[in-house]
């Protein structure tokens, strides 16, 4: 699928066919959005731009430290869009190609944030004088969404802290939930750092409009605060993890202590019973009520041992 957004008078119009390239001038085209494009759509876009578009496999193979590159005619950038799914985040790669003032995006899955930006582009064309403005608006939009994700992770961490304070369901499953939250925090932080590197590389280039430099610097400041927040949240999760492990260990030690005390209390009784279980002549043999006296001795020894532990504050 292809969406071509171009200027028509004082407004922005769009078409959804690669055959419309023949009627358009590249300077009038703001944005070409390729969503899981066909081979013909991709080739027509390459002919219109005069440059080769990276394949999906090539974009995914690029290292995170080299997600920005320039050629004689174009700028290539790659980043990931995170989408919440159940208890984790799904990463969807998006490629950006900037030729002059025309932006091209290549993606495999529908993204609601991009759809909303397309609607905004058509509704308020004055906010987007060129493809670079659309590109920076997409980055700004994604940073805002990443901030929402970091905020949600912070709320989940606070909710887990409250559960620990109230001692609700402190078990192995709770520990696994914290581990999943740690993984989500690392994924979001990695995604934010990825955009930080991308914007830093853009600022090193001499092709972007200088009027956008203040916006890019503000984005870098926002990203830096998000990274600090994500780091703080991860540290909180590590503290929670240690707390949960400590509580689980205390609970297990308490259980082992109970079993140990029970074993110690019945040891004297077991010793007396073992003596009278031997096939030898022992005191009280032959008395009808000897078993009552023996049971009394057992109980007395157990009580004496319990009293000794209690006095030494071992119980």
pLDDT at residue 291 is higher than 70: no
For residue 225, pLDDT beyond 60: yes
State the Cα–Cα distance between residues 187 and 192, nearest whole angstrom. 9
- Asked whether residue 65 carries a pLDDT value surpassing 60, the answer given is no
**pLDDT tens per residue across span 1-32:** 888 888 887 788 878 788 877 888 888 888 88
The pTM assigned to this predicted structure is 0.74
Q: Quick one: 195 and 298 in the same domain? A: no
Reported as a pLDDT band with limits 50, 70 and 90, residue 60 is low
Do both 161 and 240 map to the same domain? yes
CA–CA distance, 66 with 108 (Å, rounded to integer): 21
Interval 120-146: pLDDT, tens: 888 888 888 888 888 999 888 888 888
Burial of 161 (0-12, 13-18, 19+ CB in 10 A): middle
Based on the domain organization, do 103 and 233 belong to the same domain?
A: yes
Tell me: do 174 and 291 sit in the same domain.
no
Assess whether 212 and 73 both reside in one domain.
yes
When divided into structural domains, the chain yields a total of 2
Both 235 and 277 in one domain: the answer is no
- What the block records as the tokens of 42 is 């991709």
Q: At 155, phi and psi to the nearest 5?
A: -65, -40
Mean pLDDT of the chain: 81
Average pLDDT on 89-102 reads 85
Per-residue confidence band for 278, with pLDDT thresholds at 50, 70 and 90: low
208-212, 215-219, 288-292: which has the minimum mean pLDDT?
A: 288-292
pLDDT at 169 over 70: no
* Band (218; pLDDT cuts 50, 70, 90): very high
* pLDDT value, residue 58: 60
Mean pLDDT to the nearest integer, 225-231: 90
Q: Are residues 99 and 244 in the same domain?
A: yes
**Whether pLDDT at 64 is above 50:** no
Cα separation values, 132 from 97, 98, 141, 205, 240, Å: 10, 8, 14, 13, 43
Across residues 171-187, what is the average pLDDT?
A: 82
133 contacts 213 by C-beta, under 8 angstroms: no
CB 189 within 8 A of CB 231: yes
Q: What pLDDT is attached to residue 79?
A: 84
**Quick one: tokens of 306?**
């319990």
pLDDT band at 250 (very low <50, low <70, confident <90, very high): confident
| DSSP, residue by residue, 190-208 | HHHHHHHHHHHHHHH-S-S
Residues 25 and 119 in one domain: yes
**Which of 234, 249, 264 is at the close of a domain?**
249
Pair (63, 155) in one structural domain: yes
Which of 215, 249, 283 delimits the end of a domain?
A: 249
Listed residues 249, 269, 285: the one ending a domain: 249
Q: Are residues 157 and 284 in the same domain?
A: no
CATH number at 57 reads 3.30.460.20
C-alpha count within 13 angstroms, C-beta hemisphere, residue 169: 11
Are 254 and 163 part of one and the same domain?
A: no
Q: On the CB side of 135, how many CA atoms lie within 13 Å of its CA?
A: 32
| 213 shares its domain with 265 | no
Give the domain extent around 191: 2-249
């Amino acid at each position: 699928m292809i969406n071509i957004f171009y200027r028509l008078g004082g407004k922005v119009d769009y078409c959804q066919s690669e055959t419309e390239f023949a009627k358009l001038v590249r300077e009038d085209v703001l944005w070409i959005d390729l969503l899981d494009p066909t081979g013909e759509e991709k080739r027509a876009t390459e002919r219109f731009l005069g440059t080769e578009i990276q394949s999906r496999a090539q974009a995914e193979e690029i290292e995170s430290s080299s997600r920005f590159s320039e050629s004689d005619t174009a700028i290539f950038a790659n980043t990931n869009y995170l989408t919440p799914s159940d208890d984790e985040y799904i990463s969807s790669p998006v490629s950006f190609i900037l030729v002059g003032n025309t932006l091209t995006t290549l993606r495999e899955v529908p993204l609601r944030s991009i759809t909303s930006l397309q609607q905004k582009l058509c509704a308020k064309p004055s906010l987007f004088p060129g493809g670079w403005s659309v590109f920076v608006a997409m980055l700004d939009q994604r940073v805002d969404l990443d901030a929402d994700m970091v905020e949600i992770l912070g709320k989940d961490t606070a909710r887990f802290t409250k559960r620990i304070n109230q001692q609700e369901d402190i078990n192995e499953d709770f520990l696994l939930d914290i581990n999943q939250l740690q993984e989500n925090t690392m994924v979001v932080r990695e995604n934010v750092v990825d955009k930080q590197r991308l914007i830093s590389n853009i600022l090193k280039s001499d092709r972007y409009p200088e009027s956008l430099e203040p916006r890019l610097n503000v984005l870098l400041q926002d990203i830096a605060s998000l990274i600090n927040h994500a780091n703080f949240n991860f540290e909180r999760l590590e503290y929670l993890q240690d707390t949960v492990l400590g509580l689980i260990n205390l609970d297990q030690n308490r259980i082992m202590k109970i079993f140990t005390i029970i074993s110690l209390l019945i040891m004297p009784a077991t010793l007396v019973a073992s003596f009278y279980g031997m096939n030898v002549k022992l005191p009280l043999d032959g008395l009808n009520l000897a078993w009552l006296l023996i049971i009394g001795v057992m109980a007395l020894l157990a009580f004496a041992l319990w009293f000794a532990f209690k006095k030494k504050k071992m119980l």
